[in-house]
Amino acid sequence: MATGQLFSRTTQALFYNYKQLPIQRMLDFDVLCGRETPSVAGIINPGGDGFQKLFFGQEEIAIPVHSTIEVACAAHSTADIFINFASFRSAAASSMDALKQPTVRVVAIIAEGVPESDAKQLIAFAQANNKVVIGPATVGGIQAGAFKIGDTAGTIDNIIHCKLYRPGSVGFVSKSGGMSNELYNTVARVTDGIYEGIAIGGDVFPGSTLSDHVLRFNNIPQVKMIVVLGELGGRDEYSLVEALKQGKVTKPVVAWVSGTCAQLFKSEVQFGHAGAKSGGEMESAQAKNQALREAGAVVPTSYEALETAIKETFEKLVEEKKIKPVKEVQPRQIPEDLNTAIKSGKVRAPTHIISTISDERGEEQSYSGVPMSSIVESGYGIGGVVSLLWFKRSLPRYCTQFIEMCIMLCADHGPCASGAHNAIVTSRAGKDLISCLVSGLLTIGPRFGGAIDDAARYFKDACDRGLAPYEFVEAMKKKGIRVPGIGHRIKRGDNRDKRVELLQRFARSHFPSVKYMEYAVEVEIYTLSKANNLVMNVDGAIGSLFLDLLAGCGMFTKQEIDEILEIGYLNGIFVLARSIGLIGHTFDQKRLKQPLYRHPAEDVLYTK
């Protein structure tokens, strides 16, 4: 066990099992105390490497993240404190690994419930190698104005209130982390504050004892008096009694053992800590308090009187000129996190993203204000979801049926279509699903599947301007523009695309008006008079019918319809639908275990 000071203003630690809040609290404490370097040198996250961004004052810093304890210790040889936030299942093993590192001097084990047999092994190894274990089941410790472990002393506001940003004259040790915070506050009210405070942990076998730390404090010149808070259960306090009797502790000790109320119960009572239960008269709080009093410690008559006892002891030392009270200093300002400041109403900040179509907050997610449960229970279907997320309204059932029909009819068009071909080649190259899907989607454009919006725009413009079909077609010809939605590589006037017929039949049966579709049909009649392959394709059918859907359902203004066409909503239908087929082709090739594709040379015209 160390015989003097554990920490200083240059102490650095390695933090095991990344936890953002306790690390940030350590760094904020560093800034509050005016430290030049962060107290956290590195983070150990098993299986992870890289950096973790945190704040050091107003500056963001990148703290290295290492995958193993050995690598971290080698990289940060001056970091001699190991703060272990592992769970009780792995805390013992990782703590032993840390103790075996020559650079590690102190190990703090935060987890509760570490098996007692494991705790004993850690204690034996630490004692044999002159190392210190704080915990298990500890919040840690603090040297005021210098260094703190994890969440010790709580928030910055509490640290300032307890004057822990600068050293005082009192050494404090306790079993309880929660009561440590209470005593830090008490000590700050009636003395010049804490110099060092340790919570040894509430388990049955703590890595270091109350007396271990009292003896350390006795060797630290800046510590002028010592406050001890014990509890019923175990016999740790009796080692302090012996040290007092033997004259090993020469500084005033104010002590109290909590748990005096246990005598009111007829049977043995287990308090909050694993070690806080009385196993006999000697382990009772009353017996311990009496033994400490007889050994020379200042022991009040109750916990309520503890503050007065501390105050009187401190004032006596001041009168004897053994303590020169520390002069108060102004702590540095810690920048407040934006989220905290916003919640408290101190600042306002603009948002970076606007979303009007979905909201994952609250009890359940919603699409355009419709709760997910309603979407499922009311049978919205894929078409209904598209209407909510794309058009921000619940369209009539015939509209959502039409959307679903478009998705079904456009899901695939065989392996020879350019998109499917790309996806197949990419899949056979051994690429992942996303790569295969994207390679197919990237072929969608004016020549493949991307003409729905253009077909709708041109048909709408011509129809709204009252152009006769031949005037429209001839005008497009003069501009050198092919009529979108007209023409097919395979289908002919005497062999129509069945998909077009299905869409038109549905629209005539369900749509209130098919004005734009009829105009497109008239255009088709004219183009077929010129060539038998200038038949309406599925892009033209969907484009013209979507115009009728938008105009006929009575839920969109003219400006909204124009905006939908401008943004490219209708091509989105093809992208959504064809993704199904592209994914299917990808899975098909992988299922068939097809080899790498190489295009046959005989299918290439080589020329100069």
Angle at 499 (CA atoms; ends 496, 502), nearest 5 degrees: 100
Q: What is the pTM of this model?
A: 0.70
Answer whether residue 129 shows pLDDT above 70: yes
Quick one: average pLDDT of 382-392?
97
Widest distance between CA atoms in the chain: 118
Q: Which residue intervals of 170-284 are DSSP H helices? A: 177-190, 210-218, 236-245
Q: Is 510 exposed, middle or buried (0-12, 13-18, 19+ CB in 10 A)?
A: middle
Q: What are phi and psi of 517, to 5 degrees?
A: -65, -40
> DSSP code of 155?
S
Residues whose CB falls within 8 Å of the CB of residue 168, separated by 6 or more in sequence, listed in order: 144, 187, 188, 191, 192, 193, 194, 195, 326
Pull the structure tokens for residue 284: 């009772």
Q: Under a CB-based contact definition with an 8 Å cutoff, are residues 502 and 560 in contact?
A: no
Answer whether residue 280 shows pLDDT above 70: no
pLDDT, one tens digit per residue, over 420-479 is: 999 999 999 999 999 999 999 999 987 787 789 999 999 999 999 999 999 999 999 999
Query: With b meaning 16 or more CB within 10 Å and e meaning fewer, what string describes 576-606?
Result: bbbbebbbebbeebeeeeeeeeeeeeeeeee
Q: How far is CA 590 from CA 125, 196, 427, 594, in A?
A: 55, 65, 7, 6
Answer whether residue 273 shows pLDDT above 50: no
pLDDT, one tens digit per residue, over 73-102 is: 999 999 999 999 999 999 999 999 999 999
CA distance 454 to 94: 64
Angle at 240 (CA atoms; ends 239, 243), nearest 5 degrees: 90
Helices 418-428 & 569-591, crossing angle to 10 degrees? 40
CA distance 404 to 259: 71
Indicate if 161 belongs to the active site: no
- Smallest CA-to-CA distance from 603 within 371, 471, 421 is with 421
pLDDT tier, 235 (very low <50, low <70, confident <90, very high otherwise):
confident
Q: What is the CA radius of gyration of the chain?
A: 39
Answer whether residue 274 shows pLDDT above 50: no
Angle at 522 (CA atoms; ends 516, 526), nearest 5 degrees: 145
Q: How far is CA 545 from CA 399, 501, 504, in A?
A: 10, 12, 8
Q: Under a CB-based contact definition with an 8 Å cutoff, are residues 410 and 570 in contact?
A: no
Q: Is 447 exposed, middle or buried (0-12, 13-18, 19+ CB in 10 A)?
A: exposed
Q: Sheet of 253-258: strands edge to edge?
A: 147-148, 140-143, 194-199, 170-174, 225-231, 253-258
pLDDT, one tens digit per residue, over 157-211 is: 999 999 999 999 999 999 988 899 999 999 999 999 999 999 999 888 999 999 9
- List 273, 413, 488, 585, catalytic entry: 273
